[in-house]
């Protein structure tokens, strides 16, 4: 990895501007703060320090530099994030030697992204061509505006079996590549053909706006209504939401999202001014989707059909959001209406009135369960629900409401202890944490207060690290973990001097540190007071005085030990010399 190129990428990025693409930040001195996008909260525990080039959350301890942030918020690994940011900043990357398997995976992913982008344009061209007349008539009848067709890149796949295949081959791609990324299908007999035929095409974007998959809706009622992309190197089912790329800014601004089921429902909501709308993709809502949406807002309105299937889906969705501590309201559409039909028939004011009838998520769950479940089923539901609530305080908040709403004994409920959570690791990681971060990070030994204070100065004031080393900081640190971090900071200093000397922490690549060490450094940076140069110099004077006194005491102790040893050996000449040296040292104090 060319670390000089990494530093150039960081220097060309405006960390605050990039972070504000995903969340709302407000200035706080030299730093910016806001609610954390990586766990549910309302307090501004998330801090970005553009001067020193890092972010830190005091709630969930998420931390890192601008590349780490971009990778985490977009669900990318570090290398993928680096490649995208290099393109954005115009920096050329040289990864050095790459093993054949990794190179193959990178090439496969890059080819899949290029094919998805080309397929999107191919489908859009089909829609405006004479072959797309049937699809255009259908979309016109559904009331989809040209602006929405453009915003969501809606297209049309022709009914023939090899249209997309031939187009991709004309662009230099092979059948195998197109099969691997899910655009073509190979059946049991080895025949290859287009996956999507005769369908309205809805591209699915990642948060950066790249097309990674498709949903296809049939016009012919004899065909399956929807076909969705299979999993590929660029698309994992259950991790994305339809329209989140288009809705993200509105969701962050309003701290509220609308979640519905169909592609056309999402598009209709945006068309009528509900620009924070997103949709579940194909299958039932997943914990990963809940985590992703919950990172952008504090309230979600669930818009589901009023039939039995819709209410069942609403119950499952509400359970998931509540388990993560998110506020959700369940809005039941009038019988026989969906979001799309209601908006086009009666307008946005009618939908706003329907939204106002939404019920609190927990109240909806309690009422639905009490009205449709048998007593034994109710008890099982309560236990499953509480099992999936990771936070003890949140579980305690729900208990009295569950007991009162379901006619159960709160005392008996409190006696019951949940089993191991059945939720995924991703959901457990995203469970709400409202308490301030502990003094010492999990995942590493606890530091003494003195070690912590000295390391904090070393991390936040790198221009004094040479003087710290000369003054004997390594001899003062008590904990082996603190000493290990200090040693690695000195290695970083040599690296930065060799490449691009700086006088602030933004020039440092903390990737040489282990994860607990790196997390601690970012926490120390976040907690460090905002000092100007004069304040830093004054604080350094205090630290230097402390280190000087410590060195003096250490020399005294060493002399006393040597003196006792000389006395024990009866070496009077050495005793006299050591006594004189000890007196001279005392005169220096």
- Of 8, 6, 7, 26, nearest to 16 by C-alpha is 26
Whether the predicted pLDDT of 589 surpasses 80: no
pLDDT tens column, 50-72: 988 899 998 888 889 999 999 88
The CATH code belonging to domain 99-236 is 3.90.980.10
Per-residue pLDDT band for 418 (boundaries 50, 70, 90) equals low
Q: Which two tokens stand for residue 60?
A: 């969930």
Give the CA radius of gyration of the chain: 31
Q: What is the DSSP string of 488-515?
A: HHHHHHHHHHHH---SSGGG--GGGS-H
The pTM (predicted TM-score) of the whole model is 0.71
pLDDT confidence of residue 584:
64
Overall CATH class of domain 3-89: alpha beta
pLDDT confidence of residue 452:
85
Whether the predicted pLDDT of 505 surpasses 60: no
CB 322 within 8 A of CB 328: yes
What does the domain layout of the chain look like in residue ranges? 3-89, 99-236, 238-435, 449-530, 535-588
Burial of 209 (0-12, 13-18, 19+ CB in 10 A): exposed
pLDDT confidence of residue 495:
58
Overall CATH class of domain 238-435: alpha beta
Weakest-pLDDT range from 135-144, 422-431, 508-517, 532-541: 422-431
pLDDT confidence of residue 587:
58
Whether the predicted pLDDT of 422 surpasses 80: no
pLDDT confidence of residue 509:
65
Residue with tokens 């670390």, as numbered in its chain? 3
Residue percentage of the chain with pLDDT more than 70 = 88
In sequence order, what are the residues at sequence separation of 6 or more whose Cβ sits closer than 8 angstroms to the Cβ of residue 493?
462, 465, 466
pLDDT confidence of residue 438:
38
pLDDT tens column, 423-460: 433 333 333 333 333 344 444 556 788 888 888 888 88
pLDDT confidence of residue 164:
97
In sequence order, what are the residues at sequence separation of 6 or more whose Cβ sits closer than 8 angstroms to the Cβ of residue 224?
218
pLDDT tens column, 344-403: 999 999 999 999 999 999 999 999 999 999 988 998 999 899 888 877 888 889 999 999
Weakest-pLDDT range from 31-40, 92-101, 405-414, 488-497: 488-497
pLDDT confidence of residue 124:
98
CB 78 within 8 A of CB 68: yes
pLDDT confidence of residue 511:
65
pLDDT confidence of residue 445:
52
| Residue 76 DSSP symbol | -
Packing angle between helix 3-12 and helix 480-499, nearest 10 degrees?
80
Taking residues 261-265, what's their average pLDDT?
A: 92
Q: Are strands 299-304 and 211-218 parallel, antiparallel or unpaired?
A: unpaired
pLDDT confidence of residue 512:
65
Residue with tokens 């307008």, as numbered in its chain? 347
- Of 50, 42, 40, nearest to 18 by C-alpha is 50
Whether the predicted pLDDT of 123 surpasses 80: yes
**pLDDT, the chain, mean:** 84
pLDDT tens column, 271-317: 999 999 999 987 689 888 998 888 788 789 999 888 888 889 999 99
Beta-carbon count within 10 A of 561 CB: 11
Distances (CA, A) of 476 to 141, 473, 540, 548, 576: 77, 5, 15, 10, 30
Highest mean pLDDT among 106-115, 416-425, 565-574: 106-115
Weakest-pLDDT range from 88-102, 137-151, 391-405, 434-448: 434-448
């Amino acid at each position: 990895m060319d670390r000089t190129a990494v530093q150039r990428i960081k220097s060309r990025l405006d960390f605050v501007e990039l972070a504000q693409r995903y969340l709302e930040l407000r200035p706080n001195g030299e730093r910016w703060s806001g609610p954390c996008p990586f766990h549910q909260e309302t307090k501004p525990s998330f801090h970005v320090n553009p001067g020193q080039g890092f972010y830190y959350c005091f709630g969930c301890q998420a931390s890192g530099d601008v590349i780490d942030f971009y990778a985490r918020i977009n669900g990318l690994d570090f290398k993928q994030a680096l490649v995208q940011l290099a393109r954005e900043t115009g920096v050329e990357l040289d990864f050095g030697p790459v093993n054949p398997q990794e190179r193959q995976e990178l090439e496969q992913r890059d080819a899949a992204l290029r094919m998805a982008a080309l397929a999107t344009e191919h489908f859009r061209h089909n829609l405006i061509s004479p072959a797309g007349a049937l699809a255009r008539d259908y979309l016109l009848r559904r009331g989809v505006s040209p602006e929405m067709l453009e915003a969501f890149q809606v297209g049309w796949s022709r009914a023939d079996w090899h249209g997309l295949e031939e187009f991709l081959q004309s662009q230099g791609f092979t059948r195998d590549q197109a099969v691997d990324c899910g655009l073509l299908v190979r059946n049991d007999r080895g025949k290859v053909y287009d996956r999507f035929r005769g369908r309205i095409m809805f591209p699915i974007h990642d948060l950066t706006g790249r097309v990674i998959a498709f949903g296809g809706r049939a016009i012919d009622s004899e065909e399956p209504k929807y076909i969705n992309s299979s999993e590929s190197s660029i698309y994992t089912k259950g991790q994305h939401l339809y329209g989140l790329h288009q809705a993200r800014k509105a969701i962050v601004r309003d701290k509220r999202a609308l979640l519905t089921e169909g592609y056309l429902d999402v598009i209709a909501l945006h068309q009528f001014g509900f620009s924070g709308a997103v949709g579940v993709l194909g299958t039932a809502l997943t914990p990963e989707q809940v985590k992703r949406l919950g990172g952008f807002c504090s309230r979600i309105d669930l818009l589901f059909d009023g039939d039995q299937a819709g209410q069942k889906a609403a119950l499952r969705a509400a359970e998931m959001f509540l388990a993560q501590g998110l506020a959700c309201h369940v809005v039941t559409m009038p019988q026989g209406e969906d979001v799309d039909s209601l908006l086009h028939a009666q307008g946005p004011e009618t939908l706003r009135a329907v939204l106002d009838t939404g019920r609190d998520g927990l109240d909806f769950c309690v009422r639905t369960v009490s009205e449709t479940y048998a007593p034994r089923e109710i008890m099982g539901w309560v236990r499953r629900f509480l099992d999936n609530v990771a936070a003890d305080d949140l579980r305690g908040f729900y208990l009295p409401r569950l007991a009162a709403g379901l006619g159960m004994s709160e005392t008996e409920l409190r006696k019951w202890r949940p089993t191991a959570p059945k939720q995924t690791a991703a959901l457990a990681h995203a469970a709400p944490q409202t308490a301030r971060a502990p003094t010492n990070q999990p995942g590493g030994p606890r530091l003494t207060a003195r070690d912590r204070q000295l390391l904090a100065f070393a991390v936040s004031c790198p221009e004094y690290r040479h003087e710290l080393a000369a003054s004997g900081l390594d001899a003062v640190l008590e904990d082996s973990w603190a000493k290990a971090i200090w040693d690695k900071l000195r290695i970083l200093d040599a690296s930065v001097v060799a490449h691009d000397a700086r006088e602030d922490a933004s020039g440092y690549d903390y990737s040489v540190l282990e994860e607990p060490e790196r997390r601690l450094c970012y926490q120390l940076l976040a907690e460090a007071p905002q000092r100007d140069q004069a304040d830093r110099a004054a604080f350094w004077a205090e630290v230097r005085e402390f280190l000087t006194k410590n060195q003096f005491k250490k020399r005294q102790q060493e002399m006393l030990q040597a003196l006792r040893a000389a006395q024990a050996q009866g070496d009077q000449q050495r005793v006299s010399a050591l006594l004189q040296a000890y007196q001279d040292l005392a005169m220096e104090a």
